[in-house]
Structure 1
Amino acid sequence: MTLSQLQYLVALDTHRHFGDAAAACNVTQPTLSGQLRRLEDELDVELIDRSHQPVVPTAAGESIVNEAREVLAARDRLATTAAEVKDRVTGTLRLGMLPTLSPYLLPLVLPSLETAYPEVSLVLREWPTTEILDALRTDALDAALIATDEAGPGLHDRILFTEPFVGYVAPSHRLADRESLGPTALSIEDLWLLSEGHCFRDQVLQVCGRAPSAPQAAAQFESGSLETLVRLVRTSGGMTLLPRLATHHMPEAERATFVVPFADPPPTRNVRFVTRRRHKQRLTDAVVETLCDALPETVVLA
């Protein structure tokens, strides 16, 4: 039994496809398949139900997969501990981020991280909250940035910063001339929204005084991308709400024309750093410190 075989097994459980698992492990599909056959022969138990599509672990395989994740996590801890003894910050951090956060935060953070910690490697995954939390619980991620009220049982989280919302309003919109917005002035009927499954959508609906599960008054276009909503406002009118970091990269002329702040106190979201295990502590501390140092003054550090 080898660590590589355990890595292949975990990858197959994660991707549920031999080709995708092999690509994730940077080996050929025959190599991965053959090594898993050898592992099954050595353990004398069938680990994978190959008749099922997509492939899934057998009942025995699920137990072995969980143990394999523990072994691989222990391997990573050993490597991190060895690096810390040498007073080095090194290693790989598998980090999940929300689609409403990563396009705006990563350009601020990555250059500083690469300069300060050249031996640190980030493996980044942009997923919705539910997928991020599932990946943390199965050790497919080491850490994540989310924006829900709490991460849930079995996970450790802390608030890193609080981010206000702003309006992104077409010049033709009835609220375009306002110096500031108030929640009571908003109307869900002329607000472009993210599609269901995005926590920012639920937060916007709550700002408007509507429960996420409440039926809409009329059919509306919904998008999975904030950038698509911005383009819709620019080309078709209406308005949308954005987290403040989404405006950081905009030219000053665009902010002056389209961005309208909320009156104090504005609606906000808390961005949390979440882990399942307390490992890779020095590595996660370095990433968090660099991230917080790179944040603009438009957000409030915890």
Structure 2
Amino acid sequence: MTITQLQYVLAVAEYKNFTLAAEKCFVTQPTLSMQIQKIEEELNILIFDRSKKPIQLTDIGQKIVTQAKNIVNEADRIKDIVEQQKGFIGGEFRLGIIPTIMPTLLPMFLNNFIKKYPKVKLIIEELNTEEIINRLKNGHLDAAIAATPLEEEKLKEIVLYFEPFVAYLPESHAMANKKEIEVSDLNIEEILMLQDGHCFRDGILNLCKSNGGGNNNGNFRLESGSFETLIKLADEGLGTTLLPYLHTLDLSDKDKVKLHQFKEPKPAREVSLVFPKTELKIHIIDALRSTIAGVIKGAIVFQNVQIVSPLAKAGSKQ
């Protein structure tokens, strides 16, 4: 059997469809089917139960897929060893970034990174945390930048920075004259939040120790993925909102007056590079970490913070 044949097996196991797996592997469906059949004949077993829709793994097929993942990963590691020995930092690298980090962090480091490492072909996708975890586990991402801790056994996290939460209050709000506010000042019923699926929303809910769901104004229900929308609605007196610190740097002077820092320890999210524990392409991961560290240290100077979990309905942790 060959590494390529094992890759075909993994593709069918993931997509549960020979035609779709062939498309993802950039081969024809008859070619992929023939190569998998060769493995089954060589081992004298069936890896897939083709009578079921969608296609399912047999009991022995489950064990073979587990071992095939290890073999393919170790084969990729050989390429990594050679590249590191040569001092080569290049090739395709797939990076996922969550939506509440992408607009602020990516412009800060991308230009520096591509100038310093021109041989790396970055493929960057904006994905929510759940999608990132799944793609990292399935080998469709090399690394990601997300709010942590994620508490995923197969993933490793390297902390990049801590980003405080900042309150945005309309000028008519009762706390508008307070220079600093406390977490206890927050009213979960008036906070405008991002739609479900955003970990920043879950962080706010955890911060407020609430199982509720944001603004309960009887006249409207908000489902938005945009901080700009939340800011404009707050300006209209329809509620308050919380923003990640880096997002506040680009606000107009008029809007910055409405920002209110929290008293120390400031609630904050932990932002990390996340990647599989197999540490494939670790030389590129290290290059990313050092590049981001170089640009972020001038923007984030907060030390006394309390990390708020991004996990849905999780508690806060120090």
Which category describes the TM-score, using the shorter chain as reference length? 0.7 to 0.9
Residue 38 of structure 1: CA displacement?
A: 4.4
Residue 261 of structure 1: CA displacement?
A: 2.9
Q: Which residue of 1 aligns with 2:64?
A: 64
Q: Does the aligned pair in 2 maintain the 1:18–1:29 contact within 8 Å?
A: yes
The total of aligned residue pairs comes to 299
Residue 231 of structure 1: CA displacement?
A: 5.3
With 266-275 and 54-63 compared, the bigger mean Cα shift is at: 54-63
Residue 82 of structure 1: CA displacement?
A: 1.3
Residue 56 of structure 1: CA displacement?
A: 3.8
Q: Does the aligned pair in 2 maintain the 1:226–1:242 contact within 8 Å?
A: no
Residue 85 of structure 1: CA displacement?
A: 1.9
Q: Structure 1: any 5+ residue segments left out of the alignment?
A: none
| Identity percentage of aligned residues | 34
Q: Which residue of 2 aligns with 1:74?
A: 74
CA deviation string 1:203-258 (max 9, x = no partner): 212333x23x357794773536244544544567322212122334x353464255
CA deviation string 1:28-80 (max 9, x = no partner): 55554554444444444333344544444333332222222222212221112
What amino acid maps onto 1:206 in structure 2?
N
Q: Which residue of 2 aligns with 1:238?
A: 239
Q: Does the aligned pair in 2 maintain the 1:181–1:260 contact within 8 Å?
A: yes
Q: Which residue of 1 aligns with 2:265?
A: 265
With 96-105 and 251-260 compared, the bigger mean Cα shift is at: 251-260
Q: Which residue of 2 aligns with 1:92?
A: 92
The two structures have a TM-score, normalised by structure 1, of 0.80
CA distance in 2, matches of 1:10, 1:134: 15
CA 51–243 in structure 1, closer or farther in 2 if over 3 Å, else same? farther
Question: Residues 120-159 of structure 1 correspond to what in structure 2 (within 5 A)?
Answer: 120-149=120-149, 151-159=151-159
Question: Residues 199-278 of structure 1 correspond to what in structure 2 (within 5 A)?
Answer: 199-208=199-208, 210-211=209-210, 213-214=211-212, 218=216, 221-223=221-223, 225-227=225-227, 228-230=229-231, 232-233=233-234, 237-248=238-249, 250-253=250-253, 255-256=255-256, 258-275=258-275, 276-278=277-279
With 80-89 and 101-110 compared, the bigger mean Cα shift is at: 101-110
Residue 163 of structure 1: CA displacement?
A: 0.7
Q: Does the aligned pair in 2 maintain the 1:163–1:300 contact within 8 Å?
A: no
CA distance in 2, matches of 1:176, 1:20: 56
| RMSD of aligned alpha carbons | 3.4
Q: Structure 2: any 5+ residue segments left out of the alignment?
A: 304-318
What amino acid maps onto 1:293 in structure 2?
G
Residue 115 of structure 1: CA displacement?
A: 1.1
Q: Does the aligned pair in 2 maintain the 1:292–1:301 contact within 8 Å?
A: no
